[in-house]
Amino acid sequence: MKKRLFVPVAMTFYLIAGVCGRIELSEFQITSEENNQRSPEIYGSIVIWEAEENGNWGTYGCDLSTQREFHIIANGRDLHYSLIYGNIVVGVGQGDEYNHIYGYDLSTSKEFQISKGESMQYHPAIFGSIVVWEDDRNGSRDIYEYDLSTQEEFRITKDEHDEYVPAIYGNIVVWEDHRGGGDIYGYDLSTQKEFQISKGRNSFDPAIWGNIVVWVDSRNFELVGKNWDIYGYDLSTQEEFRITKGISNPVNPAIYGNIVVWADDRNGNWDIYGYDLSTRKEFQITTNESQQESPEIYGSTVVWSDKRNGNADIYGVDLGIDCSAFIRQEGDFFFEKGKGDTEKGNYKSALYSFQLAKEKYTRTGTAEKIKECDEWIQECQKELEGICTGTSLLLIFTLLGVLVSIQKRLCLA
């Protein structure tokens, strides 16, 4: 693997960013080489992307805090459409006949296969232990789900039309659905109920964080200069709202906390823009005259693919926003999920949830909740050890019974 650099860029600029006021931001360059890098994803200090090496595309990454670099290979193949959550990267391994979804654990450097159907699978997404993707095993594209902690697969959509590009947060999965011409639909994993979100037709590219779903919408295409818009929907209030005003073609929306980001062509090139849901204020993130595309956001950090150097590199910027409340919110979700799984006796799933909750609370310095997580983790580990011990004893007693039975038969003979 060629050397990649994490390089602070000298250029700084000003941004009016909601509650942040007027602050100075510094961009930083993550990759620096002659080949192309695209489609970045971010979780915490880990950034992954697709890079071109000798005519082939594969998934690479870097931990910005340690400068550790890595190249992910699964089943001897490069991964595509890769995403990351926690220590797990998921992506598509392209086979000779079928595509499959694979996972890779950064903490153990172990790969594992997720989908095994004889079909084509694309566009995985991950939140916690749940992986979702689109799958054509039934003749049209459906959305499937896989729980890493239980190793159980589940079919979410059963409509005969195509469903594409799922996204997930918490118990809610959203996707682009073509049963009515192109709308955003959702599914609650906890209640197993499906619901419709957008009704404007030709809605696509959904993203979700918390109760907010955002997507690209073309309902005003003929009314405002043949441009698309970003729309949003609050699942808690069931209210839809419009984010952009039809002066450009925004694409690739992403959301974290109160901040929505997207790529926007209003300046004659593609720039990265943002919107603060709490203040309803829009702001520009990149000002370079080259192309900036495919933004993603986690916490206060935005990353994107940037062509200012002649090829596509990965760049980033820290918006300087305090996101500790949002990170704690994720921790609270996993903590409550872990408690619920413990009550059901699903200790393996609960252990995974408490470990994720602890990671969130550690990021925010929530000492009391870290202690609680440690107590729950110890309890789950003891229960799992007990289950393993009990299973082993049962197997031993079963074997002894078989041996005694055989011995009796020999004696009678």
For the record, the structure tokens of 269 come out as 């090139």
Q: State residue 18's pLDDT score.
A: 41
- Report how far residue 120's alpha carbon sits from residue 98's, in angstroms, rounded to the nearest whole number: 5
Residue 205 near residue 226, CB atoms below 8 Å = no
Contacts of residue 83, defined as CB under 8 A and 6 or more positions apart, other chains included, come to 41, 48, 89, 90, 91, 124, 125, 126
Please report, as a single letter, which amino acid is at residue 155. Answer: R
| Backbone torsion region of residue 210, taken as left when φ is above 0, otherwise alpha when ψ lies between -120 and 50, otherwise beta | left
Side-chain-side CA neighbours of 321 within 13 Å: the count stands at 25
Q: State residue 230's pLDDT score.
A: 96
Please report, as a single letter, which amino acid is at residue 359. Answer: E
Q: State residue 41's pLDDT score.
A: 98
- Which secondary-structure segment (H or E) carries 350? helix 347-364
Please report, as a single letter, which amino acid is at residue 248. Answer: S
Q: State residue 323's pLDDT score.
A: 95
Q: In what order do the strands lie in the sheet with 271-276?
A: 251-256, 259-264, 271-276, 281-284
Q: State residue 200's pLDDT score.
A: 67
Domain 326-412 - what CATH class? mainly alpha
Contacts of residue 213, defined as CB under 8 A and 6 or more positions apart, other chains included, come to 174, 184, 186, 197, 206, 207, 232, 233, 235
Angle between helices 347-364 and 324-343 (to 10 degrees): 160
CA distances from 40 to 49, 61, 81, 284 (A): 4, 9, 10, 19
Q: State residue 4's pLDDT score.
A: 46
Give the burial class of 173: count Cβ atoms within 10 A of its Cβ; 0-12 exposed, 13-18 middle, 19 or more buried: buried
Residue 319 near residue 300, CB atoms below 8 Å = yes
Contacts of residue 251, defined as CB under 8 A and 6 or more positions apart, other chains included, come to 205, 216, 228, 262, 263
pLDDT tens, position by position, 166-202: 999 999 999 999 987 789 999 999 999 999 999 866 8
Contacts of residue 308, defined as CB under 8 A and 6 or more positions apart, other chains included, come to 288, 290
For the record, the structure tokens of 355 come out as 């470990």
- Report how far residue 5's alpha carbon sits from residue 33's, in angstroms, rounded to the nearest whole number: 8
- Report how far residue 231's alpha carbon sits from residue 97's, in angstroms, rounded to the nearest whole number: 38
List the domain boundaries for the chain: 7-320, 326-412
For the record, the structure tokens of 279 come out as 């203040």
Q: State residue 390's pLDDT score.
A: 52
Q: Which residues of the chain have pLDDT under 70?
A: 1-24, 96, 200-201, 222-225, 387-413
Q: State residue 216's pLDDT score.
A: 95
Chain mean pLDDT for the chain: 88
Q: Domain 7-320 belongs to what topology?
A: Neuraminidase (2.120.10)
Q: State residue 9's pLDDT score.
A: 43
Residue 361 near residue 370, CB atoms below 8 Å = yes
Q: State residue 398's pLDDT score.
A: 52
Return phi, psi of residue 363, to 5°.
-60, -30
- Report how far residue 332's alpha carbon sits from residue 175's, in angstroms, rounded to the nearest whole number: 25
- Report how far residue 241's alpha carbon sits from residue 243's, in angstroms, rounded to the nearest whole number: 7
Give the burial class of 396: count Cβ atoms within 10 A of its Cβ; 0-12 exposed, 13-18 middle, 19 or more buried: exposed
Residue 11 near residue 22, CB atoms below 8 Å = no
